[in-house]
Structures are given as structure tokens and as C-alpha cells.
Structure 1
């Protein structure tokens, strides 16, 4: 069992009368790659800044290794931050940028030299000690910012959307590099992004946030395959989300038909949200499907086709690796194991917190 390293307890934070975080509770463990994921304005960057000491909560407390650090300034925390814009010093070369924090701490020249050599090797920039940072690519600048952060030997590295300015290919390369660096350092990463694919591909734990609330915490597989509410289902990848009635265990009434599922414990004749991923729907001959429909559009996305099918009064999104003709009548077949049942919010307050 992993050791608890960082805990946020009942954190509240407002700016100009607008509540950004409300009663937020979050536990982060040693050597964990945690991603705070959500749309703009959901509170993820504020959460990161609270951990780093750049903001103070209105109420609640932050514990680090069992010690209350809520009021501790950033320089007193065993945490370093890599910001979105890297914040490198243009009047310093690469080595001077990396050494900046170590010089402030009064480290010896030999210690600093060893640390620079180690950090440059870690981020694959050996031989760049005296390069001008302004002439380097975005990916190289990001590596320098990471090197500058890790030489201070933090227990936690905070990363605030550090890949957002990079092009797709470089962003994917840097995703792999970050996972490798984290593994080699053996420290905790807390990463902020609004990119679902980025979160799913890099993280041990994904924290899905919306409007100051945590919607779900889990592994990438669990938040994708077993979303706890309609917001998570819709935000993490593409989904078909449909109103249904849970008839009884393992049977849901969906668009006029009773459809087998594997879910239990919702009760009988209870309104639910039903999620079906586009890749989990099988297109069949019209007579072989549970629903009959007509293909409205087909869009080629490079590796899959996005196919919109109107059936039973609902526009289904289906993803396949083979194309189909628009206007053609087809059937839709749903496997019980691919149907995810989610509880509907029970009140207006729960609606705001869980499915906004």
C-alpha cells in the first residue's frame, strides 16, 4: 500500500466572490502520477497553486507528510512547479537557468556542476550547457524548465499544462518523456491538463473536476470504462448518454426496449443515465439489431470512422474501422457488458456538484 504524501482537507477558495473550490478533499500518495483533469474554470490550476503555496485557501488545510503546510510559503515546501510558460531567464544560458535555485540555496560550485550534468542527462540535453534558451525549441525549453525544477530534489513536482503550447507530435513525445523522467526520479507528479487523451495515457490516477468539485477519482481505465456520472462520461472521450429506466438488476429500459446489462444495485423502475461508448456499438443488418436506424453521416478521422445513425428517435455516434454509406438502413447491437448505468442526481445541489 502506497504511503500518503499530500492531503487536502475541505478546501474552499473564492476569487472576487466567485467560488472556485468547494469542500475539496484530495489525497495524493508517494511516487504517484496524478492528473487534475477538467474544463477551463473547473479549479484544477487553483488546486495546483494551493499545493505549491502560491495561493492560500479561504478555509481547510493542506497536509504534507502529516505536517500542516497550509500557511507555509512556496520556498519552504518540498515542492517545485513547472509553469505553462516555463518562465526561463532569457539573459542566462541553459546551465545558469538550471543552477538558479541551487545558487540561491548557497550550494557549492562542484555540487551545482554535478547537478547540472545529471539534470541535462535526465532530459536528454547533454552538451547544451552554454546554449541560449531563447533560440531553443518549445520542447527543449520545457525540458530545461523540468531540469531546473528537479535539481532542487522536490518530493512533489507540479506541472501546470506544460505541453499545451507544443504541436501534436512533440506533445506526444514529451508525454512519453515525462513518464520516463517521473519513473527515473521516483517522485510524485501532479499534472494539470484539459486534454483527456493526455490524462489517460500518462497517469496512475486521474482526478476529474468541474466547477470546483471533484467528479471522480480513479485509474485511467476506471474513469473511462466506469464513469460515475454523465459529466465524466461525456468529458472523457466520446459517449452516447441516454435517459433510461432500470427495470431491475441486469435489465434497463432504453428507447422503448428492455435491454440486458450487467449492472446491479440501482433498485427497480429507477430513472438512470445510460452510457454507451461509440466503439462498443456493433453495426449489423437491419433485422439483426436491437434497434433499426439510418446512417445520417460518415466522417473519416484517420484511424476510425465517426458514423451518426438515427435510430429510435436518438442520434447515435458509432465508431468503426470500416466505412459505411450514408443513407443506408442498418441495425444496432449492444452487448450487455458495454452498457454503463449511472445514477441520476437526486437533488438540485447534487446536480450542480455531480453533473453540471
Structure 2
């Protein structure tokens, strides 16, 4: 891991009487692609605005390279922001938009010319210097906004849902472009999105947020495969989340049966949340399953089938690459390694912090 660049310590933020962030603690490293992920109103954009200097915390402090920047205005921070609305100047051509910040800094004409050329090449828009920004597509405008930000050589680039206005194919293309640009520049990206697929496909680190609290911080793989609570499990991808009892290490009581798992350290006869991903459930002959059930619905989704099976008093979501006949009796098998055990909140306060 690269060295620490940004640290947010014990941040509280209120808008009037409404608390948006509560005791937020976050470390961001050099050259990291970190994504703040969560539903609307979870505090992710407020966190981004605090880093950028557009808001001040009501409590706590923000450190940049070890220096306290909590009260530093945006123009004095080594940070640039690309907003959801790109805020390009319609009365300026592409080159003038990119040069805007450099002219304010008093850079020479030759320096600015070189920077414009470099930035346009970086975002694959060579030759667009004199184009009318209002005539560009959404994807091209987004690239110009990124070019305008990177010519200022920030140590951190903040991106506030910059792809949300684009159609699916263009959004996926721009996801790949952003990762490539980040690698070329070697700077830190802090990206805000509510789109889980976007977060998982682009990030080094994902910060899952809900109701002003950080729910989990980890790699895309860890937040998907090892969610720390029911909110993360439900928000990241599809999940079957079921009440269970941890009988002892490596054995959970689930829907009336003792089922082997690989989890340890929860104690004996402890209530837990049990998560099983739809793609990790095996459909088999009724006599071969741990549970017997009936297929209630089959929906083709293009690459997989979403299959609903009533079994053990629970409605299971199963995803397979092959279709099955609705109304047929089948068995369900669960491999121990595919069962994720999560601790239940110990109190009402903890439940507010760690669940939707």
C-alpha cells in the first residue's frame, strides 16, 4: 500500500438539525482509487465536499500529507473536483475551458498550450482544441471536464457521480477510461457513486456508507464476498439473508437444519445473519439437497436465469446459467465455503449504525 495522503478524523457534519455524518474516520492513500458507495442521503457527497473544502465539518479534522487543512479554502488545496454536472463554460471552446484554471494561476502561454495538448491526448480528444463544448456528446464533455481538472496537477481528483448521466455502454466505456487515466497520472482518485457495479469494477478500495456511517471498508472482493453486516450484503449484489443460530464453530442452524459452514469465533447458540449469494446455490435432485422446494418463477436476465425457489419456509433467489422448469420440485445444496455468517447488531444504536 502507498503512503497515507488524506485522513479524516472523527468527522461530524450537520445540515441544520439533521446529522449527515457521525464520527467518520477514513484514510486515503497515495495513488489509490477509492470509491464512496451508498444510497442517496448516506453522506458520500458530503464527505467529498469536505475533502474538497466546499464544506467544513462541525467536529473533527482533515489532514493532507500530515498537515491540518480543515479550514483551508478549496483553491489552496491540492485537490480538483469533477462534478456530476460538468460545469463547462458554454461561451468558451474546449481549449479555453481546459486553460481556465491555468490562466488564473498566471501560467505562460507556452505552458498552457503544452498542457492542453497533453490533456486532450490523455482523454483521447486530440484535435478538439477549438470545438464548441455545447456540440459535444455527454461522454466528450465529461472527458473535457476531466482534462480541465488534471492540467492543474492535483494530488487528488474528486469525482462526484460523473458518469450518472451517460447511457450504459458509454458509462462502461468511461469506467475503463477513468481507470486508465488514473494509472497514467499516478494520482489519487476519490469517486462517489450509488452504482455497486461501478464501484466493484473500478476501485482499489470501496467504502460502503449508510445513514452517515461507514459500514465497511475493503477491496471490491472483500466487500462482496465477506460483507460485515446485513446492509452491506444486501446493498452489494443480490443476496439471500436468513436468520440463523451459530450452534458452534463451523455449524449453523438454518431453517430447521444444522448446516456445515467454515466460520468460527461467534460462540455457541448465538443468533446470526446468514448470507448466501444466489450464484453460490446449487440446484439438484430433491433427494440430494439439504432442502427440498418448488420452483416458483424463472426469469431470463440475458446471461443468467433468476430462479425463485420456495424451500424450508424461505423464498430463495438462485442464479444459474441454465433454465429450469417452473413448478418442478428440486433440491438446494449449500457448500460450507459459500455460507457467510454475520454478527447481528448488539443494540438498537448499533442497528441504526449498521443497517438500513
With normalisation by structure 2, the TM-score equals 1.00
Distance in 2 separating the partners of 1:15 and 1:325: 53
How big is each residue's C-alpha offset from its partner over 1:70-111, in whole Å with a ceiling of 9 and x where there is no partner? 000000000000000100000000000000000000000000
SS at 2:206 equivalent:
strand
Q: Which residue of 1 is the match for residue 306 of structure 2?
A: 306
SS at 1:71 equivalent:
coil
How far did residue 218 of structure 1 move? 0.1
Q: Which residue of 1 is the match for residue 21 of structure 2?
A: 21
Q: Which residue of 1 is the match for residue 128 of structure 2?
A: 128
Distance in 1 separating the partners of 2:212 and 2:223: 18
Q: Which residue of 2 is the match for residue 328 of structure 1?
A: 328
Tell me, yes or no, if structure 1 residue 184 matches structure 2 residue 164: no
How far did residue 2 of structure 1 move? 1.7
How far did residue 16 of structure 1 move? 1.8
Distance in 2 separating the partners of 1:59 and 1:229: 27
Distance in 2 separating the partners of 1:286 and 1:23: 50
Listed as ranges, the matches of 1:211-290 within 5 Å are: 211-290=211-290
Distance in 1 separating the partners of 2:146 and 2:322: 42
SS at 1:333 equivalent:
strand
Distance in 2 separating the partners of 1:2 and 1:342: 30
Q: Which residues of structure 1 form unaligned runs of 5+? A: none
How far did residue 210 of structure 1 move? 0.1
Distance in 1 separating the partners of 2:354 and 2:229: 7
Q: Which residues of structure 2 form unaligned runs of 5+? A: none
Q: Which residue of 1 is the match for residue 199 of structure 2?
A: 199
Q: Which residue of 2 is the match for residue 86 of structure 1?
A: 86
How far did residue 234 of structure 1 move? 0.1
Tell me, yes or no, if structure 1 residue 151 matches structure 2 residue 151: yes
Distance in 2 separating the partners of 1:183 and 1:228: 30
Q: Which residue of 2 is the match for residue 50 of structure 1?
A: 50
SS at 1:353 equivalent:
helix
SS at 1:259 equivalent:
strand
